[in-house]
Structure 1
Amino acid sequence: MTHRFECHVYYEDTDLAGIVYYANYMKFIERARTEWVRTRGVDQVALKENEGIVFAVRRVEADYLHPAKFDDDLVVETKVDSMTGARITLQQDVLRDGELLFTSHVTLVAIGPNGSPARLPQELRRALH
């Protein structure tokens, strides 16, 4: 199942040429991941308070294919590639009018209160998968 998150390119997202600054794609996909988790009914604040679990990005592999520009309307598509006991790998793509501009594979790990990897509760795994 693919989650779609719409975003708009503002002046602050661009460089002097009016092209989206490369690091801002990380912001776009981060916002999309937050909304993906929220739409699955997961309250990340409650997860931290009740289970002591937070998500951390362990790895990002990204390809910049075509530039997004000032005033573009973009869609970030997020889908699960794989999930293990403590790790989730996602594919996140940024598109403009159906054209693929940016593609990434993001590995998230669940971190417990002591900073070590933690197992994802079964209920959480079901909600995200």
Structure 2
Amino acid sequence: MIHRFPLRVYYEDTDLAGIVYYANYLKFIERARSEFVRDHGIDQVSLKEEKGVVFAVRRLEADYLAPALFDDVLTVETSLEAVTGARMAMAQDVKRGDTILFTALVTLVAIRLSDGAPTRLPAEIRHIAS
């Protein structure tokens, strides 16, 4: 299952040449992951407040393949690659039409807010993978 998150490149996302600044791709994929989780019925605020669990990026592998430009309409495609007891891996592509501009594999871990230690993923998160 692929989740699609549309976005437009604004002037603030670019450098002087009108090319998306490299770090902004990380913001784009973060927004898309948040919407992926939300669209699966997971309320991260409730998860934090009621269970004391939040997500942290453990690992990120990224490839910049082609530039996105000011005013481009992009789509971030997110898919769940793997889920274990305390972590999940998500593949994410930023595309302009059919052209992949940026690709990333992101590993997230569940951590306890109280001490930052890894913890088991809540059942509602593990359920997404099934």
TM-score, normalized by the shorter chain, greater than 0.5: yes
**Scaled by the length of structure 1, what TM-score is found?**
0.97
SS in structure 1 at match of 2:16: coil
- On the 8 A contact 1:40/1:128 being kept in 2, the answer is no
The aligned amino acid for 1:110 is: A
The aligned amino acid for 1:124 is: I
Residue in 1 aligned with 2:49?
49
Residue in 1 aligned with 2:101?
101
SS in structure 2 at match of 1:46: helix
% same residue = 64
- On the 8 A contact 2:3/2:36 being kept in 1, the answer is yes
The aligned amino acid for 1:10 is: Y
Q: Which runs of 4+ in 1 moved over 3 A?
A: none
| Structure 1 unmatched runs, 5+ | none
The Cα shift of 1:123 comes to 2.8
What's the C-alpha RMSD, in Å, of the aligned pairs?
1.0
Q: How many positions carry a matched residue from both structures?
A: 129
The Cα shift of 1:49 comes to 1.1
- On the 8 A contact 1:56/1:108 being kept in 2, the answer is yes
The Cα shift of 1:51 comes to 1.0
The Cα shift of 1:122 comes to 2.1
Structure 1 residues 79-103: Cα deviation after superposition (integer angstroms, max 9, x where no partner): 0111100001000000001101000
SS in structure 1 at match of 2:12: helix
Quote the Cα distance in structure 2 between the aligned partners of 1:124 and 1:90. 13
Quote the Cα distance in structure 1 between the aligned partners of 2:73 and 2:93. 14
Structure 1 residues 46-90: Cα deviation after superposition (integer angstroms, max 9, x where no partner): 001111100001111100000000000000000011110000100
**Scaled by the length of structure 2, what TM-score is found?**
0.96
Residue in 2 aligned with 1:121?
122
The Cα shift of 1:10 comes to 0.3
Residue in 2 aligned with 1:10?
10
Quote the Cα distance in structure 1 between the aligned partners of 2:71 and 2:124. 40
Quote the Cα distance in structure 1 between the aligned partners of 2:70 and 2:76. 16
SS in structure 2 at match of 1:38: helix
The Cα shift of 1:121 comes to 2.1
- On the 8 A contact 1:42/1:127 being kept in 2, the answer is no
- On the 8 A contact 2:77/2:92 being kept in 1, the answer is yes
SS in structure 2 at match of 1:17: coil
| Structure 2 unmatched runs, 5+ | none
